[in-house]
Structure formats: structure tokens, C-alpha cells
Structure 1
Amino acid sequence: MTTAFSPAFGRPTQLPALPTMPEGWPIGSYDTYESAQRAVDHLADNEFPVQDVTIVGVEPLVVERVSARLTWGKVLTSGALSGAWFGLFVGLLLTLFTPGAGMFPLLIGLLTGVAFGLAFSAMNYAATRGRRDFVSRSQLVARRYDVLCLPRNAEAGRDMLARLAMSAPERR
């Protein structure tokens, strides 16, 4: 297996220090990132100089996927659990470094952690005043993904990807 740290990895590519526009000619365009990745993998499997290739997401979108409704019960339960884990950790450290203390520091850490977890989660949720009563995750996606290649190898890359597209079974 070849990794970035193996000597056979090839010549290192210098990434620009500042954001720059990608260079190259389009050699393929795909609806999903997975398809674009599969195309570049095909090029790599066929000994194509992939250091000349760039995958570009065109028309980026921020997609926020709502996963659950947020309630006081969920907020307080989550706060208590996260506080309990932190409190147990602190209590365990105190127990390890306090000879003869027994389980007392562990119990104090747990109770204090739960109390602070409840308090902080309640304050944070109350501060939103009901403007955000849901849990979500954001993703950056693109409408399409173009595979670009530097001009010196663009024609060969376009031919290889065209052969791949012709040999692939049609998906519906």
C-alpha cells in the first residue's frame, strides 16, 4: 500500500498557501462526489499521472439536515450526561492522587459534574428563547463535481474516462 509517507508515493505536489482557482481542462463531470472519486481512482489504477488532476465542486451549497426536535428534557438529559462524564473523570483523577480518600472524590466529581452540566445546558438553551428548537448537521455539497487535468495530460485523461463511462453498466 502506498501512503503519503512511503518513498514510492511519487513527487510531492505543492499546495498553494492561499486559496487559488483550480487549473486545468475539464475531463469529466459527475453528479456525485463518489462518482468523481471513482473516476480519479480509475485513472490512478491505470497509471495516469493523478498529481495533475483536481476534483472541483461546482455551485457549492450549504445543506442543513434536521435530525430531531429539541426539548427541555433532551437538553437537560444531554447536559447531565456530559457533565457526569466530565465529573467522573475529574473524580477519578482526584481518587488516584489522594491516598486513602476512597470513593468520596469520585462521588463528589459525579454530582458536581451533573449539576454544572445541567446548569450550563439549561442556560444555553434558555438563551435561544425558542428560536432553534431542533438539532441539525450542516454539510457543504456541490451541484456537480468536475474532474480537471493539466493540459499536458488532459486528452489522455478524457479518453480514459470516456472508456470508463462506456464500459460502466447504466444506473437508474
Structure 2
Amino acid sequence: MSEPIQAPQISTDVKYETIARFPDYAEAQAVVDQLSDKEFDVSTIKIVGEGLRSEEFVTGRMTKGRAALAGLGSGAWFGLFIGILFGLFAPGFGLLSIILWSVVIGAIWGAIFGFVAHLATGGKRDFKSLKTMAAETYLVQVQASRAHEAMSVLGR
């Protein structure tokens, strides 16, 4: 029998030293990956984002029809899930029929809810968007006691 996986203990008392600074996350991640490939103990590393900001990318206009269509899709997926569950526990009623009706009913209700939800905003949010968090700078930090070792592993 294997032992349960333990969550890492994160201490705020440990001092860290910055060994690299990058303008994007991918470069910071590449340095950690490089250290991992050279079998450095990566549990002593952290990537810190400085200058955090929220970014919202507007992807298009949201109309009542698009809201209903999005709701229709979500409702159909939910209906498919419910249909499969019902179908598993009601085998005598025709699995395909149960799934099909669940998808249809889910799609109809999803479209209705999508339309009504958009209507309820009163036109105050007539666009769709994606939100993300970004940082101006990403720091690769290593526990101070291991920072010199990390730098020599990286050849810096």
C-alpha cells in the first residue's frame, strides 16, 4: 500500500533570493524547467509575479440571440450529463432515448436561461470577454541557502 501524498509545507519564515528576472512567465518557467532537468531540488524555488494587473480582453458583442445560443450549448452539455446518469440507472427505458431527450430539454432550458440572464442585465454588459491576471515582471527566487547552488547549476 502506498503512502498518501502530503501537501508541501510552505513556510513564510524562509528567506528567498532572486536569481533571475523576466518580462514574461514562459521565460521564468523555462529556468525552473532547466533546473529541474539538471536534478536541482525545485521545491526550493518559487516564481513571483510583480506588478500584478487584471486584463480583460473583449472578444465580441453579446446580443440576446448569442446569449440564448451560448445557453443552448451549455444546457445541451448539462442535459447530456444528466441523460447519461439517468440512462445508467434506468436501463429498461432505452439509453439513447433518455440521453436524446435530456439533451433536447437541457438545450431548451439553457437557451431560455441564457436569454433571460442577458435580458436582466438591461444592456449594461453587451459584450463577452476573457479575464486574466498578468504581471509586469516574473522573478525566479530560490531559498537563500540554495541560491548560489542554483546559479552555478545554471552556469551564471
TM-score category (smaller protein): 0.7 to 0.9
1:156-167 map, 5 Å: 156-161=149-154, 163=156
Q: TM-score, normalised by structure 1?
A: 0.69
State the SS of the aligned residue for 1:28: strand
Q: Residue 65 in 1 paired to residue 57 in 2?
A: yes
Amino acid at match of 2:56: E
Match of 1:117 in 2: 110
Aligned-partner Cα distance in 2 for 1:104–1:49? 55
Q: Report how far residue 66 of structure 1 moved.
A: 1.5
State the SS of the aligned residue for 1:14: coil
Alpha-carbon deviations, 1:18-62, whole Å to 9, x = none?
Answer: xx5873111111111111111122222233332222111111111
Question: CA RMSD of the aligned region, Å?
Answer: 3.3
Q: TM-score, normalised by structure 2?
A: 0.75
Say if 2:65 and 2:115, in contact at 8 Å, map to a contact too.
no
Amino acid at match of 2:47: I
**Worse-superposed segment, 20-29 or 66-75:** 20-29
Alpha-carbon deviations, 1:88-135, whole Å to 9, x = none?
Answer: 554563697274679775665455333322221111101111111111
Unaligned runs of 5+ in 1: 6-11, 164-172
State the SS of the aligned residue for 2:129: strand
Say if 1:27 and 1:148, in contact at 8 Å, map to a contact too.
yes
Shift in CA distance, 23/68, structure 1 to aligned 2, threshold 3 Å:
farther
Aligned-partner Cα distance in 2 for 1:156–1:95? 57
Q: Report how far residue 143 of structure 1 moved.
A: 0.5
**Worse-superposed segment, 31-40 or 104-113:** 104-113
Match of 1:137 in 2: 130
Shift in CA distance, 160/117, structure 1 to aligned 2, threshold 3 Å:
same
Shift in CA distance, 110/30, structure 1 to aligned 2, threshold 3 Å:
closer
Aligned-partner Cα distance in 2 for 1:129–1:59? 35
Q: Percent identity?
A: 32
Unaligned runs of 5+ in 2: none
Amino acid at match of 2:58: V
Q: Residue 30 in 1 paired to residue 16 in 2?
A: no
Match of 1:48 in 2: 40
Q: Report how far residue 148 of structure 1 moved.
A: 1.2
Shift in CA distance, 52/96, structure 1 to aligned 2, threshold 3 Å:
closer
Amino acid at match of 2:113: F
Where has structure 1 moved over 3 Å in runs of 4 or more?
20-23, 84-92, 98-112, 158-163
